[in-house]
């Protein structure tokens, strides 16, 4: 006789918190298992490019995007170990913050702030704001995603 399947979802083991900050993002979890010490909060590492060709874990993911130019990085140096493009149109996090300090016309910062500005078309490719025409643009919604 076959066992019937229950429609009851499995009990959650963790509560996950994501802080999507204007300057940094963070990820944490708390165990819901009373035997394992419910309520203990673990700040989780976030893997990211920190230099071209170098991935490292950080407790914060800087909320920056850098629009990659044709000659900004050596070929293949933006490849991520979990997949993706060899030459993505933008990088995020620590590498974006660092490179954006060197080339601010390609830096998208505070994209989340544009989402609440009624005078901006949030879906239009307007960022980086004030950058020259040759720099590809992204929308506040796209940059925030």
pLDDT tens for 92-118 read 999 999 999 999 999 999 898 899 889
Q: Residue 32: its pLDDT value, please?
A: 87
Q: Judging by beta carbons within 10 Å of its beta carbon (0-12, 13-18, 19+), is residue 82 exposed, middle or buried?
A: exposed
Alpha carbons 129 and 54: distance in angstroms, whole number:
29
Query: 44-68 pLDDT, tens per residue?
Result: 999 999 999 999 999 999 999 999 9
Instruction: Record the pTM.
Output: 0.83
């Amino acid at each position: 006789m076959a066992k019937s399947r229950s429609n009851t979802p499995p009990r959650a083991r963790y509560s996950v918190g994501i802080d999507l900050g204007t300057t940094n993002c963070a990820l944490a979890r708390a165990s819901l298992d009373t035997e394992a010490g419910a309520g203990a909060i673990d700040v989780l590492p976030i893997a990211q490019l920190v230099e071209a060709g170098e991935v490292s874990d950080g407790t914060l993911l800087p909320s920056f995007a850098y629009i990659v130019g044709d000659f900004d990085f050596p070929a293949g140096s933006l490849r991520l170990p979990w997949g993706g493009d060899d030459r993505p149109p933008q990088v995020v996090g620590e590498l974006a913050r660092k490179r954006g300090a060197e080339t601010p016309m390609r830096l998208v910062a505070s994209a989340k702030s544009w989402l609440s500005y009624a005078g901006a078309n949030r879906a239009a490719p307007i960022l980086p704001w004030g950058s020259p025409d040759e720099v590809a643009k992204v929308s506040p919604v796209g940059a925030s995603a």
